[in-house]
Amino acid sequence: MSGSTTQWTLDPATVAAQVDRLPALPDVVVELIGSIDDPDADTDLLARKIARDQALVARLLRVANSSFYGLQGKVSSVHDAIVVLGFRGVRTLATAAAVTGCFSAQGLATRFDFRAFWAHSLGVALCARGIARRLRANEENAFTAALLHDVGRLVLASRFPHHFDAVVAYRERCDCLWQEAERDVLGIDHAQIGCALAGRWRFAPLVGEAIAWHHRPESCEIQALAHVVHVADALAHALGLAGDGASLVPPVSAVSWNALALDREDFLALFAEVEGQHAGICELLAG
């Protein structure tokens, strides 16, 4: 790609230093994410820890009692939420509530659309969960990994705002994909930065791998979840769920597409399901 510049190049050490300065997730959320692929996790202990974080409980109950879950007024404690939604459902909700509440809309790159970012991320999360359900795979893992797939872009916009704006300007000039613009301008892309954050926040390897490889899932060691997130990302772009009128569908890996083996009726039903849920979950988690 022409027009590259060394002015904005970021080396991994600089990125790592800034990632270390990001606000830490609440300890309980780190434990929740880290327990995703741990069948021996002590769910009772984790539930008690969630209950001690009042801010998290408030957000969790607000979502659990929303029309999105159809449980208006029925959930008044973490224990109730686990009875109704299951531990995995609560883990997903607590993670989503904590992660979306962790970043402020203030002080970001001027060209970063905070609302569109979360609208897209939540759209990918809904698509991934719907795909996982149809594959009889773990829906909660799919939702969490998909919600966080672009978190590296949020790191760029919050810790390197001028670099982010330079990427936007370059992308507009060259009309290329985001990850290509990032690699040309910064020498690093949001998937790599997201992977660094996954390490900092001690995400389960499963989630970190899916974030790192969501644009190149066929290179991922743990491919199944990366395929789901990769295709879900393309679906969310194709449906324009960011709502900013600037959707750009990335190339879709034939390996991932074929691995899911969904048929036409699956996709059409999934589109309707996702669009029916999207506005509600955006209002709850990114409003």
Partner 1 sequence: MRHEAREMALDSVPLDGTLAADVHDAHGALLIPAGATLAEATLNSLRRRGIESVSVLVECPEDPGQTEARQRELERRLRHAFRLAGDDGPARELRQLVTDYRRSRAS
- The answer to the question of residue 253 lying near partner 1 (CB under 8 A) is yes
Burial class of residue 277, CB neighbours in 10 A (0-12, 13-18, 19+): middle
If DSSP codes are grouped into helix, strand and coil, which group holds residue 135? Answer: helix
Q: How far is the CB of 249 from partner 1 (least distance, A)?
A: 4
Whole-angstrom CA distances from 162 to 203, 205, 267, 286 are 28, 31, 39, 24
- The answer to the question of residue 181 lying near partner 1 (CB under 8 A) is no
Q: How far is the CB of 177 from partner 1 (least distance, A)?
A: 6
DSSP single-letter state for residue 213: T
In the bound state with partner 1, the residue whose beta carbon lies nearer, of 3 and 12, is 3
- The answer to the question of residue 279 lying near partner 1 (CB under 8 A) is no
In the bound state with partner 1, the residue whose beta carbon lies nearer, of 83 and 272, is 272
Interacting residue with partner 1 among 257, 277, 279, 280 (CB under 8 A): 257
Lookup: tokens for 186: 């910064």
CB distance 217 to 251 below 8 Å = no
- Phi, psi (5° rounding) for residue 76? -120, 0
In the bound state with partner 1, the residue whose beta carbon lies nearer, of 221 and 265, is 265
Among positive and negative, which fits the CA dihedral 112, 114, 116, 118?
A: positive
- The answer to the question of residue 271 lying near partner 1 (CB under 8 A) is yes
In the bound state with partner 1, the residue whose beta carbon lies nearer, of 59 and 237, is 237
**What is the C-alpha separation between 178 and 261, in angstroms, rounded?**
27
- The answer to the question of residue 114 lying near partner 1 (CB under 8 A) is no
Q: How far is the CB of 199 from partner 1 (least distance, A)?
A: 30
AA identity, residue 38: D
- The answer to the question of residue 175 lying near partner 1 (CB under 8 A) is yes
Q: Mask of contacts with partner 1, 224-243, x by CB under 8 A?
A: ----------xx-xxxx---
Interacting residue with partner 1 among 30, 116, 137, 176 (CB under 8 A): 176
- The answer to the question of residue 70 lying near partner 1 (CB under 8 A) is no
**What is the C-alpha separation between 180 and 92, in angstroms, rounded?**
31
- The answer to the question of residue 214 lying near partner 1 (CB under 8 A) is no
Q: How far is the CB of 276 from partner 1 (least distance, A)?
A: 11
Q: Which stretch binds partner 1 (CB under 8 A): 7-15, 208-216, 221-229, 245-253?
A: 245-253
Q: Alpha helix locations (H) across 73-213?
A: 78-102, 114-135, 139-147, 151-159, 161-174, 178-186, 190-200, 205-212
Q: Which stretch binds partner 1 (CB under 8 A): 76-84, 121-129, 173-181, 209-217?
A: 173-181
AA identity, residue 64: A
Interacting residue with partner 1 among 177, 199, 202, 279 (CB under 8 A): 177
How many residues can be counted in the chain?
287
- Nearest to residue 197, comparing CAs of 33, 9, 28, 7? 33
If DSSP codes are grouped into helix, strand and coil, which group holds residue 284? Answer: helix
Q: How far is the CB of 16 from partner 1 (least distance, A)?
A: 30
- The answer to the question of residue 264 lying near partner 1 (CB under 8 A) is yes
**Site residues for partner 1 per CB under 8 A:** 175-177, 234-235, 237-240, 247-254, 256-257, 264, 267-268, 271-272
